Amino acid sequence: MTPVLVDSDILIDIATDHPRCGKAAAAALLSAGQGARLIVNPLILAELSLALGRIEALEAVLPGDLFRREALPWPAAFLAGRALRAGTARDGRAGLVDLCIGAHAAVRGYRLLTRQPWRYRAAFPRLGLLHP
Protein backbone atom coordinates (compact mmCIF):
# COMPACT_ATOMS: atom_id res chain seq x y z
CA MET A 1 0.00 0.00 0.00
CA THR A 2 1.13 3.57 -0.67
CA PRO A 3 3.04 5.14 2.27
CA VAL A 4 1.39 7.99 4.15
CA LEU A 5 3.13 11.19 5.21
CA VAL A 6 1.48 12.31 8.45
CA ASP A 7 1.02 16.07 8.81
CA SER A 8 1.86 17.66 12.14
CA ASP A 9 -1.74 18.80 12.72
CA ILE A 10 -2.85 15.16 13.08
CA LEU A 11 -0.01 14.37 15.50
CA ILE A 12 -0.61 17.53 17.54
CA ASP A 13 -4.32 16.74 17.84
CA ILE A 14 -3.47 13.27 19.15
CA ALA A 15 -0.57 14.29 21.42
CA THR A 16 -2.54 17.10 23.04
CA ASP A 17 -5.82 15.15 23.14
CA HIS A 18 -7.52 18.01 21.32
CA PRO A 19 -11.13 18.08 22.57
CA ARG A 20 -12.66 18.59 19.12
CA CYS A 21 -10.22 16.79 16.83
CA GLY A 22 -8.17 14.34 18.90
CA LYS A 23 -10.35 11.24 18.58
CA ALA A 24 -10.98 11.74 14.86
CA ALA A 25 -7.25 12.28 14.26
CA ALA A 26 -6.38 9.09 16.16
CA ALA A 27 -8.95 7.09 14.18
CA ALA A 28 -7.67 8.52 10.89
CA LEU A 29 -4.07 7.69 11.81
CA LEU A 30 -5.03 4.15 12.78
CA SER A 31 -6.89 3.70 9.51
CA ALA A 32 -4.06 5.20 7.42
CA GLY A 33 -1.52 2.95 9.12
CA GLN A 34 -3.36 -0.26 8.27
CA GLY A 35 -0.99 -1.81 5.76
CA ALA A 36 0.76 1.46 4.91
CA ARG A 37 4.07 2.82 6.19
CA LEU A 38 3.71 6.07 8.17
CA ILE A 39 6.29 8.75 7.37
CA VAL A 40 7.39 11.98 9.08
CA ASN A 41 10.06 14.53 8.17
CA PRO A 42 12.05 17.13 10.14
CA LEU A 43 9.54 19.91 9.40
CA ILE A 44 6.72 17.82 10.86
CA LEU A 45 8.92 17.11 13.88
CA ALA A 46 9.67 20.84 14.28
CA GLU A 47 5.98 21.78 14.21
CA LEU A 48 5.15 18.99 16.66
CA SER A 49 7.89 20.22 19.00
CA LEU A 50 5.94 23.47 19.42
CA ALA A 51 3.16 21.50 21.13
CA LEU A 52 5.42 19.20 23.14
CA GLY A 53 7.90 20.71 25.54
CA ARG A 54 10.43 17.89 25.69
CA ILE A 55 12.28 15.72 23.20
CA GLU A 56 11.27 12.65 25.23
CA ALA A 57 7.59 13.47 24.68
CA LEU A 58 8.27 13.86 20.98
CA GLU A 59 10.06 10.52 20.83
CA ALA A 60 7.10 8.88 22.61
CA VAL A 61 4.68 10.26 20.00
CA LEU A 62 6.89 9.21 17.06
CA PRO A 63 8.22 5.74 17.89
CA GLY A 64 10.62 4.41 15.28
CA ASP A 65 8.74 1.15 14.92
CA LEU A 66 5.61 3.05 13.78
CA PHE A 67 7.04 6.04 11.91
CA ARG A 68 9.81 6.14 9.34
CA ARG A 69 11.76 9.38 9.52
CA GLU A 70 12.82 10.84 6.20
CA ALA A 71 14.77 13.91 5.22
CA LEU A 72 13.05 16.44 3.01
CA PRO A 73 13.96 15.46 -0.56
CA TRP A 74 15.80 18.13 -2.57
CA PRO A 75 13.22 18.02 -5.37
CA ALA A 76 10.48 18.61 -2.78
CA ALA A 77 12.18 21.75 -1.51
CA PHE A 78 12.45 23.02 -5.08
CA LEU A 79 8.81 22.17 -5.84
CA ALA A 80 7.64 23.91 -2.65
CA GLY A 81 9.56 27.06 -3.56
CA ARG A 82 8.10 27.05 -7.06
CA ALA A 83 4.59 26.58 -5.65
CA LEU A 84 5.10 29.51 -3.28
CA ARG A 85 6.42 31.67 -6.09
CA ALA A 86 3.52 30.68 -8.35
CA GLY A 87 1.15 32.01 -5.74
CA THR A 88 -0.59 28.77 -4.88
CA ALA A 89 -0.41 29.95 -1.28
CA ARG A 90 -1.63 33.43 -2.20
CA ASP A 91 -4.76 33.12 -0.11
CA GLY A 92 -2.62 32.63 3.01
CA ARG A 93 -3.70 29.06 3.58
CA ALA A 94 -0.37 27.38 2.90
CA GLY A 95 2.99 28.70 4.01
CA LEU A 96 6.39 27.39 2.99
CA VAL A 97 6.44 24.67 5.67
CA ASP A 98 3.06 23.34 4.51
CA LEU A 99 4.22 23.46 0.90
CA CYS A 100 7.40 21.53 1.80
CA ILE A 101 5.31 18.87 3.54
CA GLY A 102 2.93 18.60 0.58
CA ALA A 103 5.81 18.56 -1.91
CA HIS A 104 7.54 15.78 0.05
CA ALA A 105 4.45 13.61 -0.32
CA ALA A 106 4.02 14.60 -3.96
CA VAL A 107 7.57 13.84 -5.16
CA ARG A 108 7.68 10.51 -3.33
CA GLY A 109 4.22 9.44 -4.49
CA TYR A 110 2.91 9.23 -0.93
CA ARG A 111 -0.54 10.10 0.33
CA LEU A 112 -0.80 12.89 2.92
CA LEU A 113 -2.87 12.58 6.10
CA THR A 114 -3.87 16.06 7.24
CA ARG A 115 -6.70 17.80 9.06
CA GLN A 116 -6.49 20.66 6.57
CA PRO A 117 -6.55 19.25 3.01
CA TRP A 118 -7.45 22.64 1.50
CA ARG A 119 -3.91 23.83 2.31
CA TYR A 120 -2.54 21.38 -0.25
CA ARG A 121 -5.14 21.04 -3.02
CA ALA A 122 -4.24 24.12 -5.08
CA ALA A 123 -0.49 23.49 -5.04
CA PHE A 124 -0.63 19.70 -5.48
CA PRO A 125 -3.86 18.79 -7.29
CA ARG A 126 -2.80 15.16 -7.90
CA LEU A 127 -1.71 14.53 -4.31
CA GLY A 128 -3.70 11.82 -2.54
CA LEU A 129 -5.15 13.51 0.53
CA LEU A 130 -6.54 11.70 3.56
CA HIS A 131 -8.32 13.50 6.36
CA PRO A 132 -10.45 12.70 9.41
pLDDT value of residue 53: 85
- Tell me how far apart the alpha carbons of residues 40 and 29 are, in angstroms, rounded to a whole number: 13
Are 102 and 123 in contact by the 8 Å Cβ rule? The answer is: yes
pLDDT, tens only, 14-24: 999 999 999 99
- What pTM does this model have? 0.93
pLDDT of residue 122: 86
Residues 26, 18, 56: CA angle, nearest 5 degrees: 75
- In contact, 102 and 39? CB cutoff 8 Å: no
87: enclosing H helix or E strand: none
CATH number at residue 84: 3.40.50.1010
Instruction: Indicate the number of domains in the chain.
Output: 1
- Structural domain including 70 reads 4-130
What element of type H or E holds 122?
Answer: none
Cβ within 8 Å of residue 72, ≥6 positions away: 41, 42, 43, 100, 104
Q: How do residues 60-119 score in pLDDT, each as one tens digit? A: 999 999 999 999 999 999 999 999 888 765 555 678 999 999 999 999 999 999 999 998
In three-state form (DSSP H/G/I as H, E/B as E, the rest C), the secondary structure along 13-58 is HHHCCCCCCHHHHHHHHHHHCCCCCEEECHHHHHHHHHHCCCHHHH
Q: What pLDDT does residue 94 have? A: 73
